Amino acid sequence: MHGVAREGGRGGGLLAVSENWVVYGYWNTKAKRHEVGVLSLYEGMMGPLDLNPFKVPLQEATFSSFRAKPPVVMQRTFVFPKALKHLAATVTAQGISTKNMVAVLEGGQVAMVPRRLLDPRRPNGKPSQAEASEGLLQYHPYLVLDPRAFVSMNQTVLGAERVFVTTAVIESTTLVLTAGLDLFFTRATPSKTFDLLAADFNKEFLLLLLGGLLVATVGLRKLDKDRKLKSAWQ
């Protein structure tokens, strides 16, 4: 069991769970600012030689929280630039895309916060080569929201209170519905549109190329058939 207490924290209920991550938001009455806390839970740590073809860690077929060891918890707290109304995590059909957080802000905007900004593993100093290869950024207590990451774009959702996130048929896409006095629906791409063709993709040239390959295949097949027939008569 792991407990977290925030002195001066007020405004509970803002909580989102994504895989082994727990993200919560609150108002710090002592510091007079909005903050976001992040917890990531891991089953344990493995040494560099613990997993190899000759040594496989023992794993039970079923998991029970009564018998399992307490998870290793990593924790970070960030100062959020705006007041939060609701939190949710992006979900995709196969779970391959990055799990980002979707935040409804008090002003009626909906922002997608990249997961790597909230990663509690962010080092205090300059990231090492191994940490940089994982995409970990140096820890900074203040979060800066990228205006390009606002899924509401230049729209304001009046009275926005809650956000609902669900999957789409395409793996790269998650569907976002914001509810309040207004309803705002859009799609978001946490890991970019890696399984979609670009909007300026030249479809006509592709069809022309496929048609040319088809004609060339039929022509070469006929030439090969004539060659075999001619060689048989010799």
Average pLDDT, integer, range 47-68? 72
Q: Where are the alpha helices (DSSP H) in the chain?
A: 115-118, 129-133, 203-233
Residue 83 lies in a domain: yes
The model's pLDDT over 196-224, given as tens digits with 9 standing for 90+, comes to 877 788 889 999 999 999 999 999 999 98
| Nearest in space to 101 (alpha carbons), one of 78, 124, 69 | 78
The model's pLDDT over 130-139, given as tens digits with 9 standing for 90+, comes to 888 888 999 9
Domains held by the chain: number: 2
CB proximity list for 113: less than 8 A, separation 6 or greater: 100, 101, 102, 103, 143, 145, 149
Last residue of a domain, one of 152, 168, 188: 188
Residue 178 lies in a domain: yes
Domain match, 127 and 148 both = yes
CB proximity list for 202: less than 8 A, separation 6 or greater: none
d(CA 88, CA 100): 9
Domain match, 34 and 137 both = yes
State the pTM of this model: 0.77
d(CA 60, CA 57): 10
d(CA 67, CA 83): 40
Domain match, 77 and 147 both = yes
Residue 117 lies in a domain: yes
Q: Tell me, what's the pLDDT at 42?
A: 85
Q: Both tokens of residue 64? A: 């029970």
Q: Both tokens of residue 233? A: 């008569």
| pLDDT of residue 110 exceeding 70 | yes
**Bigger pLDDT: 174 or 46?**
174
